[in-house]
Structures are given as structure tokens and as C-alpha cells.
Amino acid sequence: MYKRDIVGIILEERKENSVMLQKVLTEWGCMIKTRLGLHDGVLDSCTPVGLVVLEVVGEEEKMEELVRKLNLLNGVRAQRMTLRLP
């Protein structure tokens, strides 16, 4: 079976909240296979909301713990999804 686990993160007030988000992602870095950060705008028109997409690997319980810890942070909403092929 082919399986991929993805964690989607929306970060509000990026400039204020990104330091704590980065700290948690660093602590759980061994589980993060791929990380993509997106936000609208550049330079003077940079938006305060960002999107981070993670491809994670490891035990189910650890993935759920990561999502739980992310959701404890101010301005962070995280959800996990699993994509499978038979």
C-alpha cells in the first residue's frame, strides 16, 4: 500500500507567531520529510497569514502528538490527512 501523511498548518500573524511555530517544527524535525511554506504577497504587501504544508513520517501516535502540540500555539491551526492507494 502507498501512503502519505500530510499536515496542513495555517499561521495567523506570521511575524509574531512564527518563532514558536519554528521551535516546535525543529523539535519534531526528524519526522518532517518535506516542508513547504507559502504566503501571499512580497516585500511591502506581505500578508499576515501563512500556510505550511508538511509531509511527515513515523508512528501514528507521534503524528497526532505533533498536530496536538501545533494546535496549542497561538494563531496556529493544524490538521492531518492521510492519502492512500490500495
Percent of the chain with pLDDT over 90: 83
Cell 519554528 sits on residue: 22
Bridge partners of residue 5, in order along the sequence: 56, 82
Q: What is the pTM of this model?
A: 0.90
Number of domains in the chain: 1
Bridge partners of residue 25, in order along the sequence: none
Q: 40: domain CATH number?
A: 3.30.70.1150
Looking at per-residue pLDDT, the higher value among 45 and 61 belongs to 61
Whole domain around residue 31: which residue ranges?
Answer: 2-85
Q: Encode pLDDT of 55-86 as tens digits.
A: 999 999 999 999 999 999 999 999 999 999 98
